[in-house]
Amino acid sequence: MLNIFLKEINHFLSSLIGYIAVGVFLLVTSLFLWVFTDTGILEYGYATLENYFYLAPYIFMFLIPAITMRSFSEEYNTGTIEILSTKPITDYQIIGGKFLAAMFLVLFALLPTLLYFYSVYQLGAPVGNIDTGATWGSYIGLLFLGAAFVAIGIFASAITNNQIVAFLLAIFLCFFLYIGFDYISRLNIFYASFDALVEQFGIDAHYQSIGRGVVDTRDLIYFISLISLFLFFTKIMLERRKW
């Protein structure tokens, strides 16, 4: 698994994929936070990163599928999936190596944004006038959200040989699981508090919950279960390819 992890990292860093993904993420978030007047922190007048944590998941919906779309699609096209299958490694080790490599890139993109937190922390009146607990909670939530999107993207890549199809499918699944259940819960077809139960199936409800600064075990169980489920689905797809 370590060799697969290093191979994937080397592929990301030796090509433009990793640099473009990280660069686009930092550029877009920087523009929205510091340049655009409608969403800029300086114009907003409050020491908060709410706009960043609101925007980041939507950017991840496109960037993470772009990172993961080649995970297995490329292996199918080049025929290297058969070589991997003959090696003394399990499917879970193959999937785990690719998952951790993509997560490394997500973490690599998030680390520079700590400068946003430091800048807002210093700009506060008085210095440090920012909800630190909610900020760190939001970073944890964003990391789990990124992991969920990576698992979804890898699953989409394991379904098809076509990277574009894998990219579009991953975007659809990420969008639906992030905000789809929230919209469904607002339909006038549910009784009593059942709409709140439907909303809890979506990623956004748990992401927002962690973002309040309280890391609830229910939210952690949700994310871990969602990630594990899509990685398990990926294993099923790999097994079907062997037949």
- pLDDT tens per residue across span 181-223: 888 877 777 665 677 777 788 899 899 989 887 888 999 999 9
Lowest mean pLDDT, pick from 83-97, 153-167, 171-185: 83-97
Whole-Å CA distances, 112 to 27, 30, 107: 11, 11, 9
For 112, the 3-state DSSP assignment is: helix
- The per-residue pLDDT of the chain, averaged, comes to 85
- State the Cα–Cα distance between residues 86 and 81, nearest whole angstrom: 9
Task: State the average pLDDT over residues 73-96.
Answer: 80
- State the Cα–Cα distance between residues 75 and 71, nearest whole angstrom: 7
Task: State the average pLDDT over residues 73-84.
Answer: 78
Could you tell me the two tokens for 113?
A: 């944004």
pLDDT band at 75 (very low <50, low <70, confident <90, very high): confident
Q: What confidence score (pLDDT) does residue 145 get?
A: 95
Q: Looking at per-residue confidence, does 44 or 7 come out higher?
A: 7
